[in-house]
Amino acid sequence: MLTVSGYNDYELSYKLKTHSGLIDDVKNGAIFYDIDTKKGQSGSPVYINDKPNMVVGIHKAGSK
């Protein structure tokens, strides 16, 4: 399971948001996952749940 932690542009609370989900696919070095993210979270770290100091990617964009 992966986790994305970051801030978004929709809420002006300036609180860190953390959401987790499963890996859907890995293609050409990109990890595809089903995790609730919002506009403004690009650049947030993507890490393995039980190893938060092991960043496996950087959130880039949503597809839905």
The model's pTM: 0.75
Q: Is residue 23 part of a domain?
A: yes
Percent of the chain residues topping a pLDDT of 90? 27
Q: Which of 16, 18, 25, 14 lies closest to 4 in space, CA to CA?
A: 18
Q: Is residue 32 part of a domain?
A: yes
pLDDT at 26: 93
pLDDT at 39: 77
Q: Please give the tally of structural domains in the chain.
A: 1
pLDDT above 90: residue 27? yes
Domain that holds residue 16: 2-58
Report the alpha-carbon distance of residue 44 to residue 27 in Å, rounded: 20
Tens digits of per-residue pLDDT, 2-16? 999 888 766 666 778
Q: Is residue 16 part of a domain?
A: yes
Report the alpha-carbon distance of residue 14 to residue 6 in Å, rounded: 10
Strand partners, 30: 27
| Residue 32: CATH number of its domain | 2.40.10.10
